[in-house]
Amino acid sequence: MAAALAGRPLGGFYTEEIRAAGARRGFRLVTFDGRRAVMAHVDVRGPARVGKYGVDVAALERLAASALALRDDVGVYLVDEIGKMECLSPGFVAAMRALLDSPRLVVATIGQRGGGFIAEVKARPDTELWEVTLASRDGLPPRVLAWLAQR
């Protein structure tokens, strides 16, 4: 999606899998201004956990919140994703609320299951939900681009 919006100022972030010997070991957060941080990893210790992954809440606070800050020069915010790991960060949740309450365009992926902030976002009257499946995922980028063009 980000490649299709090249040349347009983007805010937000995406996540990459961290793999070793073919096994997923964690996730890296990458902002559209080029910053990177390990967001979660099997080797991270501490109370913030989702499944087998320890979540580095401080990294989320530092990068996600600033990547989601409202800026006049940003046309579209892409967020991958609003998930259980990200929602462990109060800064992420606060920044997402401010962004969603603003007139800015936001395209985000969101966990299929989850309460709290995930359920809150899904219940918003201004949220449009499109399910991503193996069958639908290739058709979503043109659909999202058409949606953005109408705004």
Of residues 151 and 42, the one with the higher pLDDT is 42
Do 31 and 74 touch, CB atoms closer than 8 A?
no
Domains recognised in the chain with CATH numbers: 3-149 (3.40.50.300)
| pTM score, whole prediction | 0.91
Residue with tokens 């990068």: 63
Do 61 and 87 touch, CB atoms closer than 8 A?
no
Which distant-in-sequence residues (6+ apart) come within 8 Å of 117 by Cβ? 82, 87, 93, 96
- pLDDT over 80 (residue 129): yes
What pLDDT digit, counting tens, does each position of 57-83 carry? 999 999 987 899 999 999 899 999 999
Do 43 and 54 touch, CB atoms closer than 8 A?
yes
Question: Which of 34, 38, 40 minimizes the C-alpha distance to 66?
Answer: 34
